[in-house]
Structure formats: C-alpha cells, structure tokens
Amino acid sequence: MNYQNEQSALDALYALAKEEQQRTKKQFLVWAGGDAPNQQDQLYQQFKKRFPGIDFEIIVDLSKYHDLKVYEQLNDGFLEPDVVMLQTMNDFENWKKMGVLEAFKPEGFEHIREGYSDPEGYFMGAFIFAFLPQYAKEGLDFVPTNYGDFLKPVFKDKLVLTPPHDDDAVLYVFDHIIKKYGEDYLDDLKKQNPTFVRGTAAPAALVGQKGFLGNIVGYPTYPDQPSQSFIPEDDFFITWPQRAAMFKLTKNKAIARLFLSYLASHEFQSSRGTWSTRTDVTELGGLNPLEQYKNTDPLDFIVWMRDREHIHELREKFIAKFGPVKGESPLKDPRLFRVYYNTL
C-alpha cells in the first residue's frame, strides 16, 4: 500500500507547526498517562527526530491525576496541555459531551480499528497497550501458563504486584480473575504475602530481581530482561487502545494536529513492535493479530471503564482485603527511580 498521502500530509502539517511556534513562542505540551517518568521517552525521541525544531514536552503522570487537573482547568477556562493521552477512556466521552474537544481526523484515520476512536474525530485510539503476567527466568522449575499458577507454594513471599485498587487496568484484570476463579482467589493470593509496589512499571521491572519470581499483571518483556511474559493459555488478558485528543482551548493547534497525525500514521504504528491500532500494520515479534486471540478484547475495557459504580465497589473490595494503597505516587518515589532506570 502506498502511504504517500500520509507523508505529504505530515510534511504540510510540519510546515504549519513550525510557522505556528515561530509566531506564538509557546512550547507544545502533551500530558500522557503512565507511572514512570521515562515511559514516553521513545515517542519523544521519535517525534523530535522526525520533526526537528519543534519545542515540546511530554509530562507523564497517572491518568487519574491528569484527568482531574484537566477538569479543574476546564472549569476555570484555561488548559495547560495541548494534547492528552490517557487510560481513562471514559473521560474522552465525557469531554465530547461537554463540547470541549476539537475534532480532527488525520490522514489514515480510516485505518484505525473500529471502536477505538470517535467516528467524528473528537478522540482517537493512539496506541495499543497490553498487560501480561511475568515469571522469573531463574528460580522456577516449571513455566506458568495461567493466573492460577501464581498461587503455587514457590511464589510464597515472591510475588511483586501493583495494588489492583490503584490502577483501573490492573483492577479490570482482577475482575476477570474473580469471575473465573471466584473470590477465594483473593484469599489464596493474600496467603502468598505479595509485595505491593505502586505503579505498573516498577513491579514489572522487579520480576527476576531482588528475589521476586512473578507478577500477575505485568508488561510484555524483551529478550534481555530477567523475566519472561506470557499470554495466558485459557485466562483473559487485557489490551486497550490508549486514547488521545486535542481541545478547543489547545493553544498550539497546528502542532497538535501534527502530533495526532504522527500517532495515527502507518510510519509510527509500524515502528512500535507490538499490536497496532491500525488494520493495515503487520504484527511483529511472533504476535498474531489481536482478532485471533479469543481471550482478550480491547473494546471490552472501554465498556468496563464506563461503569464507575462497579469499579468503586471493586476498589472497596480490595481495600477490605489488602488494605489501602500505601506510598508516594510512583512518579515521586525516589526509591523507584533506580528501578525505572535499571540502576539497582
């Protein structure tokens, strides 16, 4: 397929973006959901290299913190970020109803999978995220294949987990675990005496280090890591399209359109090495197309996120079982920075 139209559109938007910034002298700002300061470093470097001369910054914080600040600022009639990319997908639907989003359909928008984006272009699925269970490459005499395996005696005192009631995506996975294994799973998990660490990045990085052998809701791993992720054989795993949008109050609208166009482009989507939001990008690394996995559904998490009453009830259940979330934000805890930057 020829993507010259996308490249031409990016070049034209780049020219407009440079003109805009020369005129306004305002830095382009993206607020991205995440729990480690370096989680968007790759995107930052890619965009800087592809579009030199654009002054911009990506600030990573928990989506549930970013969105509250967006609501507060909208209420006051101003907005710091030009673009937001968040896990809290229900927010984008709320913002559309409030009439505060700026519609924009980049070139290639029609290739984004159905249901990921707003049909009118008020928000779009920017990239696919997935959480997978992990086990240490050393210290086990078997290979886990499902969530039930993490209740085996070898994982006693050796699990490192994100508090499920601190992250909706993690909570979603445990909701599915409860539906399959029953609430007894939580009682048995508590007996395993897991170590809870805020954020998803740190627990994922710690598997295979400091004596930790497993993480139920971790990250896809790379060959040089001390742990191995896996797609459960017969258990559900989470995938979802992280959404992105610009606002009517966005100050750098030309740069925002360039940024969103780059995220949607075949050029960017084919560089990620994992599942894509687009139907015309071939999966890498031995992955099958998402539609071939019967134990995940990216659209289901979107529906689940709308039921805030159910989510609140689940959080209360986990607070009663494991206690309240403890510790500083994972973006402010200095002990975790050594984990993020692999300087343990």
Q: Which helix (H) or strand (E) holds 191?
A: helix 184-191
pLDDT more than 90, % of the chain: 89
What region does 289 belong to: left with phi over 0, alpha with psi -120 to 50, or beta?
beta
Model confidence at 300, pLDDT cuts 50, 70, 90, reads very high
pLDDT at 218: 96
Domain ranges of the chain: 4-128+241-291, 129-238+292-340
Give 187-215 pLDDT, tens digit per residue.
999 999 999 999 999 999 999 999 999 99
119, with CB counted inside 10 A (0-12, 13-18, 19+), is exposed
- The three-state secondary structure class of 108 is coil
Q: Which helix (H) or strand (E) holds 134?
A: strand 124-136
pLDDT at 285: 73
pLDDT at 342: 64
pLDDT at 296: 97
pLDDT at 333: 84
One of 3.30.930.10, 3.40.640.10, 3.40.190.10, 3.40.50.300 is the CATH number of 4-128+241-291, namely 3.40.190.10
Question: Against a cut of 0.75, is the pTM above it?
Answer: yes
One of 3.40.630.30, 3.40.190.10, 1.10.540.10, 3.10.450.50 is the CATH number of 129-238+292-340, namely 3.40.190.10
Same topology for domains 4-128+241-291 and 129-238+292-340, yes or no? Answer: yes
pLDDT at 341: 65
Quick one: which of 171, 169, 179, 136 has its CA closest to 154? 136
Model confidence at 284, pLDDT cuts 50, 70, 90, reads confident
pLDDT at 176: 98
pLDDT at 331: 86
Say whether pLDDT at 288 is over 70.
Answer: yes
Give 140-174 pLDDT, tens digit per residue.
999 999 999 999 999 999 999 999 999 999 999 99
Say whether pLDDT at 344 is over 60.
Answer: no
Mean pLDDT of 209-232: 95
- φ, ψ for residue 162, nearest 5 deg: -75, 135
CA separation (Å) from 331 to 33, 44, 58, 165, 215? Answer: 11, 18, 14, 17, 20
Cα separation of the two ends of the chain: 46
Model confidence at 72, pLDDT cuts 50, 70, 90, reads very high
Give 302-335 pLDDT, tens digit per residue.
999 999 999 999 999 999 999 999 998 888 888 8
